[in-house]
């Protein structure tokens, strides 16, 4: 039978190992890469409405590597910092963006993206709350670059960089089929 001193030492070593493992996991998750599940219709047809699992490259942002138009990013929501959003970069600092009116009583306007900010929009412009609603997003809110789709398995692989012009009216997508009407 082991003594209480031996049990105490073994418990202490196990707790120290658990703390080390937790710290390592936290650093990997926050600074290197993250696996995230996506939900919502704003990025249709690039991502499904629910269930897509992606790999987010956090190191890209932490090393201050420049983002490019067409990159898909995970960012803290400007309107609710407790949530994250997945959007496509459509405007970089210094770009001029034509903002199409969302309602009949609004007018078109041109906006220049200020330094340190990005213009983010969802791929489904008819069902996305994005920079058209809350304006340019500070680069500091960007958590990482979405680089790989893990699930569903039929779509497994790296994400292609595609570019869509901001403010352009695109046909509405049927939510069930993903086909434009």
Q: Which of 69, 87, 143, 149 is catalytic?
A: 87
Instruction: Give residue 136's pLDDT.
Output: 95
Which residues have CB under 8 Å from 124's CB, separation 6+? Answer: 41, 42, 43, 44, 45, 173
For residues 43 and 88, what is the distance between their CA atoms, to the nearest angstrom?
A: 8
Q: Is the pLDDT score of 85 beyond 60?
A: yes
Query: 103-122 b/e with 16+ CB inside 10 Å = b?
Result: eeeeeeeebebeeebbbbbb
| DSSP 8-state secondary structure symbol assigned to residue 15 | H
The CA-based angle 131-137-142, given to 5 degrees, is 120
Instruction: Give residue 125's pLDDT.
Output: 80
Please choose, from the candidates 46, 70, 49, the residue with its C-alpha nearest in 3D space to the C-alpha of residue 166. Answer: 70
Instruction: Give residue 163's pLDDT.
Output: 58
> Using one digit for the tens of pLDDT, what is the confidence trace for 126-179?
888 899 889 999 999 999 999 999 998 888 888 876 655 555 554 444 444 444
Q: Judge residue 72's burial from the number of C-beta atoms within 10 Å of its C-beta, 0-12 exposed, 13-18 middle, 19 or more buried.
A: buried
Please choose, from the candidates 91, 130, 132, the residue with its C-alpha nearest in 3D space to the C-alpha of residue 113. Answer: 91
The verdict on whether 87 is a catalytic residue reads yes
Q: What average pLDDT does this structure show over 121-130?
A: 86
The verdict on whether 42 is a catalytic residue reads yes
**Confidence band of 2 (pLDDT split at 50, 70, 90):** low
Instruction: Give residue 165's pLDDT.
Output: 55
Please choose, from the candidates 74, 38, 70, the residue with its C-alpha nearest in 3D space to the C-alpha of residue 151. Answer: 38
Q: Is the pLDDT score of 109 beyond 90?
A: no
Instruction: Give residue 4's pLDDT.
Output: 81
Q: Which of 20, 22, 42, 165 is catalytic?
A: 42
Please choose, from the candidates 116, 134, 143, the residue with its C-alpha nearest in 3D space to the C-alpha of residue 60. Answer: 143
> Does 45 or 100 have the greater pLDDT score?
45
- What's the predicted TM-score (pTM) here? 0.78
> Using one digit for the tens of pLDDT, what is the confidence trace for 5-54?
888 888 888 888 888 888 888 887 778 888 999 999 999 888 998 889 99
Q: Judge residue 8's burial from the number of C-beta atoms within 10 Å of its C-beta, 0-12 exposed, 13-18 middle, 19 or more buried.
A: exposed
If DSSP codes are grouped into helix, strand and coil, which group holds residue 96?
strand
Q: Is the pLDDT score of 104 beyond 80?
A: no
Instruction: Give residue 84's pLDDT.
Output: 93
Query: 151-175 b/e with 16+ CB inside 10 Å = b?
Result: eeeeeeeebeeeeeebbeeeeebee
């Amino acid at each position: 039978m082991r003594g209480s001193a031996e049990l105490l030492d073994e418990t202490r070593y196990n707790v120290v190992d658990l703390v080390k493992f937790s710290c390592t996991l936290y650093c990997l998750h926050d600074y290197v890469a993250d696996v995230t599940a996506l939900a919502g219709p704003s990025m249709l047809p690039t991502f499904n409405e629910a269930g897509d699992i992606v790999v987010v490259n956090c190191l890209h942002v932490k090393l201050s590597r420049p983002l490019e138009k067409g990159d898909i990013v995970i960012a803290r929501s400007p309107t609710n910092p407790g949530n994250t959003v997945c959007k496509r970069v459509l405007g970089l600092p210094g770009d001029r963006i034509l903002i199409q009116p969302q309602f009949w009583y609004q007018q078109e306007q041109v906006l220049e993206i200020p330094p340190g900010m990005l213009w983010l929009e969802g791929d489904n412009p008819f069902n996305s709350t994005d920079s058209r609603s809350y304006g340019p997003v500070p680069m500091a809110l960007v958590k990482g670059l979405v680089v790989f789709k893990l699930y569903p398995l039929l779509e497994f692989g790296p994400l292609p960089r595609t570019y869509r012009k901001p403010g352009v009216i695109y046909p509405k997508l049927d939510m069930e089929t993903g086909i434009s009407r």
